[in-house]
Chains A and B, each alone.
Chain A
Amino acid sequence: MSTFIGMPAARGTGDLQGDRPFPQAAHDALADQQLRRNLGYATATIRTKRAQVVAEVEDWEQLREAGRQIKAHVMARLPELLEQLEEQVTARGGTVHWARDSTEANRIVADLVKATGSDEVIKVKSMATQEIGLNEYLAAQGIAAFETDLAELIVQLGHDKPSHILVPAIHKNRTEIRDIFLAEMAGVRPDLTDEPAELAEAARMHLRAKFLTAKVAISGANFAIADTGTLGVVESEGNGRMCLTLPDTLITVMGIEKVLPTWRDLEVFLQLLPRSSTGERMNPYTSTWSGVTPGDGPSTFHLVLLDNGRTSALADEVGRAALHCIRCSACLNVCPVYERTGGHAYGSVYPGPIGAVLSPLLTGMTGGHDAPNDSLPYASSLCGACFDACPVKIDIPAMLVRLRTEHVDLAGPKTAEARSMKAMRWMMSSPRRFALAGRLSRLGRFAVRRGKPIVPLPPPLNGWTQSRDVPVPQGQTFRDWWLDNHGDAR
Chain B
Amino acid sequence: MSEIVDRWVEKCIKLPNIGKMTHADRMRKAFELEDPDMVPVAIETDEWQIVYAGYDFFETWNDVDKVTDAVLKTWYDLRQDVIWPYFCPSHVLDPILTPEQRKTCYDLRDGKSYVVFHEPTKDLDEIIKVFESKPWVKYGLGRLGSHYIPHFDQTLEFQKKMNNTVPTVLGVANPSNIVEWVVGVENFLRWSVSEPKAKVHYYLQLATDFCLATAESCRPYAEAGVDYVCVFGGARTWGPRQFEEFGLYDRIFADKIASIFKYPFHHICGQNLPLAMDMLATMPYPAIQYDESMRQLGWSWAQWCEWVARLNKGIACAMNAPTTQAMAYKSIDHNRRMIQEFIEHTTPHTTAVIMPGCEISVGTPLENVKAAIDATREYGQYPQCKTAAEQIWTEESFQESRKKLTKNLPQWAYNYRKDPKLIK
Q: Do A and B bind each other?
A: no
Which A residues contact B (CB, under 8 angstroms)? none
